[in-house]
Homo-oligomer: A and B are copies of this chain.
Amino acid sequence: MIEHEHLRHLEAFARYGTLSKAAEELHISQPTLTRSMQKLEDEIGVPLFLRTKNHLEFNANGELAADYARRILEQTDSMVERVRALDRAGRTISIGSCAPMPMLTAVRNATHLYPEMTISSECRDCEPLIEGLRSELYQIIILPYRPEDKDLYIQKTETETLFFAVPSGHRFAGSNGIYMKEMDGENMLLYSDIGFWHSLPREKMPHSRFLVQTDRFAFEELMSSSILPCFVSDIALADNWNSADRVLVPILDPEAKVTYHMVCLKKTLSKVRKLFLSVI
- Give the B-binding residues of A (Cβ under 8 A): 1-5, 8, 43-48, 60-61, 64-65, 68-69, 71-72, 75-76, 78-80, 82-84, 86-87, 90
Chain B residues closer than 8 Å to A72, beta-carbon distance:
72, 75-76, 79
Tell which of B43, B45, B48, B86 touches A61, judged by Cβ atoms closer than 8 Å: B86
* A206 → chain B closest CB, angstroms: 51
CB closest residue in chain B, given A62: B83
Determine whether the beta carbon of B2 is less than 8 Å from that of A3: no
Chain B residues closer than 8 Å to A84, beta-carbon distance:
44-46
Chain B residues closer than 8 Å to A79, beta-carbon distance:
2, 44, 64-65, 68-69, 72
In terms of DSSP, what is the predominant structure of the interface of chain A?
Answer: helix
Determine whether the beta carbon of A2 is less than 8 Å from that of B76: yes
* A80/B5 contact (C-beta < 8 A), A60-B86, A75-B72 known: no
Chain B residues closer than 8 Å to A76, beta-carbon distance:
2, 68, 72
Copies of this chain, how many? 2
User: For the complex, what is the distance from the CA of A48 to the CA of B82, rounded to whole Å?
Assistant: 13
Tell which of B2, B4, B71, B86 touches A80, judged by Cβ atoms closer than 8 Å: B2
User: For the complex, what is the distance from the CA of A84 to the CA of B61, rounded to whole Å?
Assistant: 8
User: For the complex, what is the distance from the CA of A71 to the CA of B46, rounded to whole Å?
Assistant: 24
* A75/B86 contact (C-beta < 8 A), A2-B80, A3-B4, A4-B2 known: no
CB closest residue in chain B, given A45: B84
CB closest residue in chain B, given A88: B46
Tell which of B4, B64, B83, B87 touches A82, judged by Cβ atoms closer than 8 Å: B64
Determine whether the beta carbon of B87 is less than 8 Å from that of A46: yes
- CB-CB nearest 9 A-B residue pairs: A68-B79, A46-B87, A4-B4, A65-B83, A61-B87, A72-B75, A61-B83, A44-B80, A64-B83
* A89 → chain B closest CB, angstroms: 9
Chain B residues closer than 8 Å to A78, beta-carbon distance:
68
User: For the complex, what is the distance from the CA of A4 to the CA of B75, rounded to whole Å?
Assistant: 12
Chain B residues closer than 8 Å to A43, beta-carbon distance:
80
* A137 → chain B closest CB, angstroms: 18
Tell which of B4, B64, B87 touches A86, judged by Cβ atoms closer than 8 Å: B64
